[in-house]
Amino acid sequence: MVEETIAGLYALQQMRCPVHLCIGQEAVAAGVCAQLRTADYLMSNHRSHGHYLAKGGDMKAMFAEIFGKATGCSGGKGGSMHLVDLTVNILGTTPIVGGVIPVAAGIAFGTVLQNKKRLSAVFMGEAAAEEGVFAETLNFCALKRLPVLFVCENNFFSVYSPLSVRQPAARSNSKLAAAYGIPAHAGDGNDVSGVYEAAGKAVRHIRVHGGPYYLEFKTYRWREHCGPNYDNDLGYRKESDFIKWRKRCPVENYQRKLLRDRILNSAVLEGMKSRISAEIAEAVRFAKESPFPPASDALSGVYSNR
Amino acid sequence: MEADKSVYIMGLGVPDPKGVFGTTLGLQKKFGSRRVLDMPVSENGMTGIALGSALVGMRPIITHQRIDFMLLSLDQIINNAAKWHYMFGGRQKMPVVFRLLVGRGWGQGPQHSQSLQALFAHIPGLKVVMPFSPYDAKGLLISAVEDDNPVVFIEHRWLHGICGAVPEDMYRVPLGEARVVREGKDITLVASSYMTLEAIRAAARLQELGVDCEIIDLRTVKPLDEKTIIDSVMKTGRLVVVDGGWRSFGVSAEIVALSSERCHGKLACAPRRIAFPDVPTPTSWALANHYYPDAADITAAVGGIFDIPAAMNDLNNRDCDIPRDVPDKSFTGPF
C-alpha cells in the first residue's frame, strides 16, 4: 500500500529521487523481519522500503526523506536509496550492488568483539552474488562464524539484464554460500508463511549455534526497475511471466488464505487496511508539510566533529 | 590500544614475524588475537567489515603493506566510508583509519610504490594524513584513531629509518595543522612526508648560497591548513611546492592554485612545482634515477628563481650512473 501510494503520487514530481518499488516482493521483507528483534541489525539495498518498514522503520521519516525534507530519516541528504532508523537498528541502505554486504558482516564482527549477542541481517538482490565483496564476505563470515543472516531476493533481473546472461543456469546462488560451509536454504519468496518459517529456522540457528545463514527466495518485481510504472512494453521480459507472477501476489494470496482459514474475517481485514491507509495518509501529509532543509545543510555535515 | 578497548588493528601480516616492517611487532602478544589480527586477502570486503564494526562503536585500523593493494577497496572507502556521515544526515560516525605504506626504491616499480594522496584528498569526507617526523607520526596516528571520521594515514617507507625524539606518553598532533619546520624570509617550500626531508636538505644547501627558505611540512593534506601556507607565502612572496606524487591534478597543483587565488598580488614570481613526472614508477634503478626528484631538483628550482647559477651544480653533477634506490647505505633489500 505504501509503494502503491508512492507510485500514485510520483507524477506530482515532488518525490525527486529514484524510487525502487518492492511491489510483488513484499513477502520476503515481511516474513524475515517478523523473525528479527528490534536489537538485531538490518542493512539493505536500493529496493529497501519494504525492509525498512518491516523492521519497524519510521514511515513518516521515510516519506519525508523521499520528499527531500529536513524531517527525513537522513535529513534529505539520502533519499529513497539511503534509509536509516537507528531507533530500530536499521543502520543504512545503499544502492551500490553488494555495497552493504561486508558492512553488515562488520556490524556482526563488531558486536562479537564487544561480546554482544546480536544478529545482523542483510538484504541483497541476486546480482549482488556476482560481486567480489559477496565472496569475500561469505569467506570471512564462515571463517569467524559471524552471526549474519544473508537474505537474497532473486527477482531474476538486474535492471533489465536477466539472470540468464549473468549467472550459470543450473546453479542457485545459495549453493555459493553452501560452498563456503554456510547453511543455506532456497525457497519461494512469494509465500510469506514459508519465508517466515525458513527465516525462523535460520534465526534460531544463528542464535543457538552462532555463524552465518543464507536464505535465497525467488520472487518477482512487478514494476520497472526504478520508477512508478509497469514496463512490460519494453520487451525485456515476457508478459506471460508477469501474468504468472501477478497471480502469485504474496499479499492477495495470503489475505485469501487467512480469510479461508478463518484467521481473519473481512471486517477485521478492512479495518486493518483502513488503519494502514490512514497511517500512510498521515505520513504523506507530514512529508508534504515538513520544511526543506536549510541551505546551510548542503555544505555542512561532511565530517563528524571530533 | 591500552587507552581505548574499541581500537583494533587488522591487515595482512599484522601479527606475522616481520610485523609490517616492525611496526606491529609484539602487538598481538600484548593485546590478543581478537584485537590484533591477520585477515583474508580481501581488501574491499575487509574494508567493509571495518566500516561495519565502526558503525557499532569499534575503532578499526586497517593496514596495508603497500598502498597499491588498497586500490581494491576504493568502493568501500569512497562509496561508503567517505559519505556515511553525510548521506545519512549526520546520524552516524565512521571512525576508521587506513594505514597505508608507500614503497619506494629497490625496484618497487609500477604497482608497489604509488603515491595516491591526491586521489584520496579529492574525496569529500576523507581526511588524509602524511607524517614526516617520528614525533608527528605518533601524534598524528593517535589523533587519527581518535577522530570520528575515516582517515587515510600514509606512511612513507623511507621514513621508517629516520630518528627523532618521541615522548612515551599519549600526545596528539591535531589533524589539519601544518608545521613550519624551518623559518625563513626568502621563499616558501611546501612539502610533506618524505619530500620534507629532501626540502630540509635543499634548504641547508640554499642557505650556503644565500637563500633563506621557509619550509612548511603539511602533515595533513586534507583538510589542508590553508592559513599556514598563505601566511608564509604572503611573507616570502615566493613558493615552490614539493610533492611526492604525480604532478598533474595533484597536491602540488592544489597548493599552487591556492597561492594564485589568495596571494596573487604578493607573489614576486610564478610558483613552481616539483613532483613526480606523469608516468608510472619505472622499476630499474637506472630509470628510477630519472623519476624521483630530490634535494638537487629543489635547489636548482630555487636557484632558478633567484638566478644563482651555482644552485644548478648539484643537479648537473648528480651521478645517474649509480643507484639512488635506497634511503641509506644500511638498506640492502629486498625491500
Which positions in chain B touch A84 (Cβ < 8 Å)? 88-89, 91-92
- pLDDT number for residue B98: 98
**CATH 3.40.50.920 residue spans of chain B:** 179-317
Q: What is the pLDDT of residues A270-299, one digit of tens each?
A: 999 999 999 999 999 999 999 999 999 999
In a domain? residue A304: no
CB pairs under 8 A between A and B: 152
d(C-alpha A192, C-alpha B247), whole Å: 59
Architecture field, domain B179-317:
3-Layer(aba) Sandwich (3.40)
Percentage of chain A exceeding pLDDT 90: 99
Identify any residues that bridge with B214 across adjacent strands, giving them in sequence order.
B188
d(C-alpha B188, C-alpha B178), whole Å: 13
In a domain? residue A302: no
Domain range for A166? 2-291
In a domain? residue A107: yes
Strands A120-125 and A184-188, by their bridges, are unpaired
Three-class secondary structure of residue B266 per DSSP: helix
d(C-alpha B200, C-alpha B62), whole Å: 31
Q: What is the pTM of this model?
A: 0.96
Yes or no, beta carbons of B90 and A304 under 8 Å apart? yes
CB atoms within 10 A of CB A86: 13
Kindly tell me the burial class for residue A169, based on how many C-beta atoms sit within 10 Å of its own C-beta (0-12, 13-18, 19 or more): exposed
Among B76, B91, B146, pick the best mutation site for testing chain A contact (most A Cβ within 10 A).
Answer: B91
Here the ipTM equals: 0.96
Residue of A nearest to B175 (CA): A306
Is B43 tagged catalytic? yes
Per-residue pLDDT band for A110 (boundaries 50, 70, 90) equals very high
Residues 7-26 of B with CB under 8 A from A: 8
Q: What is the mean pLDDT of residues A42-55?
A: 98
In a domain? residue A27: yes
- pLDDT number for residue A170: 85
Q: What is the pLDDT of residues A162-176, one digit of tens each?
A: 999 999 998 999 999
Q: What is the pLDDT of residues A236-251, one digit of tens each?
A: 999 999 999 999 999 9
In a domain? residue A92: yes
Nearest CA-CA distance, residue B160 and chain A, Å: 29
A243, amino acid identity: I
d(C-alpha B6, C-alpha B58), whole Å: 5
Which helix or strand (DSSP H or E) is residue A150 part of? strand A148-154
In a domain? residue A58: yes
Which positions in chain B touch A101 (Cβ < 8 Å)? 48
How many domains is chain A built from? 1
Is B183 tagged catalytic? no
Residue of B nearest to A118 (CA): B56
Q: What is the pLDDT of residues A11-43, one digit of tens each?
A: 999 999 999 999 999 999 999 999 999 999 999
Per-residue pLDDT band for A306 (boundaries 50, 70, 90) equals low
Yes or no, beta carbons of B45 and A133 under 8 Å apart? yes
Per-residue pLDDT band for A96 (boundaries 50, 70, 90) equals very high
- pLDDT number for residue A267: 97
Alpha helices in chain B (DSSP H): 19-22, 27-31, 43-55, 74, 84-87, 117-121, 134-146, 193-208, 226-236, 251-262, 285-288, 295-306, 313-317
Q: Is A95 on the interface with B (CB under 8 A)?
A: no
Tell me chain A's radius of gyration from C-alpha atoms. Answer: 19
- Stretches in chain B below the pLDDT threshold 50: none
Q: Are B79 and A94 in contact (CB under 8 A)?
A: yes
Q: Which of B58, B80, B125 sits opposite A103 (nearest CB)?
A: B80
- pLDDT number for residue B332: 78
Q: Is A299 on the interface with B (CB under 8 A)?
A: no
Nearest CA-CA distance, residue A67 and chain B, Å: 14
Q: Is A115 on the interface with B (CB under 8 A)?
A: no
Among A42, A85, A103, A290, pick the best mutation site for testing chain B contact (most B Cβ within 10 A).
Answer: A103
Residue A217 belongs to domain with CATH number: 3.40.50.970
**CATH 3.40.50.970 residue spans of chain B:** 7-159
Q: Which of A77, A78, A106 sits opposite B52 (nearest CB)?
A: A106
Q: Is B37 on the interface with A (CB under 8 A)?
A: no
In a domain? residue A297: no
d(C-alpha A163, C-alpha A151), whole Å: 17
- pLDDT number for residue B335: 64
d(C-alpha A171, C-alpha B306), whole Å: 72
Q: Which residue has the cell 576523507?
A: B126
Q: Are A109 and A120 in contact (CB under 8 A)?
A: no
CATH superfamily of B7-159: Thiamin diphosphate (ThDP)-binding fold, Pyr/PP domains (3.40.50.970)
Residue of A nearest to B32 (CA): A113
Q: Is A46 on the interface with B (CB under 8 A)?
A: no
Nearest CA-CA distance, residue B173 and chain A, Å: 14
